[in-house]
Amino acid sequence: MYIYGASGHGRVIIDLIESFEKIHGIFDDNPEKQEILGYPVLGAIPNHFIFKSSLFIAIGDNATRRRIALDLEDRVRFANIIHDSAIFSKRAYLGSGCVVMEGAIVKVNSTLGDQVIVNTGASIDHDCNIGDYVHIAPQATLCGGINVGEGSLIGANAIILPGVQIGKWCTVGAGSIVHQDIPDGHKWIGNKVMPQPVPMVVGK
Ligand SMILES: CC(=O)SCCNC(=O)CCNC(=O)[C@H](O)C(C)(C)COP(=O)(O)OP(=O)(O)OC[C@H]1O[C@@H](n2cnc3c(N)ncnc32)[C@H](O)[C@@H]1OP(=O)(O)O
């Protein structure tokens, strides 16, 4: 597997996979990144680089992960990573480029889109629909029947009550309790939605 991204999330992914997966190379556009956890960083991906295995985009920022995935989707297959300690229902589904980290749970009839991060100990209960480029942060709890739109961040330890619909490119603050639907592009902090939307990601 190749890895794109040599910052914090890159370290997490290397640490997660290196015991069972050969790392063929690590890329990062930032020339100052020369080394990560003892592995050399090869710089940006050259234009005509031929990948001999799949790639994982190890970038936590949802909009950046989306941009890179759209740039590279015609050139390489994206890997999925599900840690051994995660519980991923045999009746749950996922796209490509996703990671389900240590102790996370994805239950029956739930679906992850592409490039989704289900971080450490997060719990996605039955019949949830998680859009592309979403990040469910550590220990967040999604009850049953929740939709999370493309690009949204569910902060650490947030709780989303059953059936809530969260729009695209929303942010839910750490530790929040979300009891109502959130429109596209809005931020929710604590127990209420903020009045002003944030700019949505459009185009490539
Ligand atoms: C492995 C990992 O690290 S994965 C990383 C996962 N990331 C997270 O879980 C972080 C999620 N992000 C947050 O919780 C952020 O604080 C946000 C997005 C909710 C708010 O960010 P900003 O819009 O920059 O707001 P800002 O920091 O200016 O705070 C605005 C107000 O909300 C308060 N506030 C910020 N976050 C929270 C929160 N989670 N809960 C309650 N209040 C909060 C601030 O104290 C401030 O209050 P004030 O106006 O009375 O001073």
Q: How many of the other CB atoms lie within 10 Å of CB of 91? A: 11
CA of 174 to the centre of ligand 1 (A): 7
Active site annotation includes 126: yes
Average pLDDT over residues 69-84: 97
Tokens read off for 27: 């890329």
Give me the amino acid identity at 81.
Answer: I
Of the listed 24, 48, 83, 126, which one is catalytic? 126
| pLDDT for res 199 | 75
Which atom of ligand 1 lies at the shortest distance from residue 154's CA? 9
Asked whether residue 85 is marked as a ligand-binding residue, the answer is no
Q: How far is the CA of 40 from the centre of ligand 1 (A)?
A: 34
Band of residue 112 on the pLDDT scale cut at 50, 70, 90:
very high
pLDDT for 178: 98
pLDDT digits (tens, 9 = 90+) for 17-39: 999 999 999 999 999 999 999 99
Q: What are phi and psi of 82, to 5 degrees?
A: -125, 115
In whole angstroms, what is the distance from residue 138 CA to residue 37 CA? 22
| Ligand 1 centroid – CA 54 distance (Å) | 35
- The per-type count for the chain, helices as H runs and strands as E runs, is 2, 24
Alpha helices in 5-154 (DSSP H): 8-17, 62-72
Query: Does residue 203 have a pLDDT over 90?
Result: no
| Range 93-102 average pLDDT | 98
Note whether 190 and 172 are within 8 A (CB).
Answer: no
To the nearest whole percent, how much of the chain has pLDDT over 70? 99
Domain architecture of the chain: domains with CATH: 2-72 (3.40.50.20), 80-190 (2.160.10.10)
* Predicted pLDDT at 44: 97
Residue with the smallest CA separation from ligand 1 atom 4 is 137
- Is residue 135 marked as binding? yes
Specify the residue with its C-alpha closest to ligand 1, atom 5: 137
The ipTM (two decimal places) reads 0.97
Q: What is the mean pLDDT of the chain?
A: 97
List, for residues 114-131, the tens digit of each pLDDT value.
Answer: 999 999 999 999 999 999
pLDDT over 90 (residue 43) = yes
Which residues are 114's β-sheet partners?
none
pLDDT at 26: 98
pLDDT of residue 198: 78
User: Are the C-beta atoms of 5 and 45 separated by less than 8 Å?
Assistant: no
pLDDT at res. 201: 76
The answer on whether 83 is annotated among ligand-binding residues is: no
**Residue 41's CB: how many other CB atoms inside 10 A?**
19
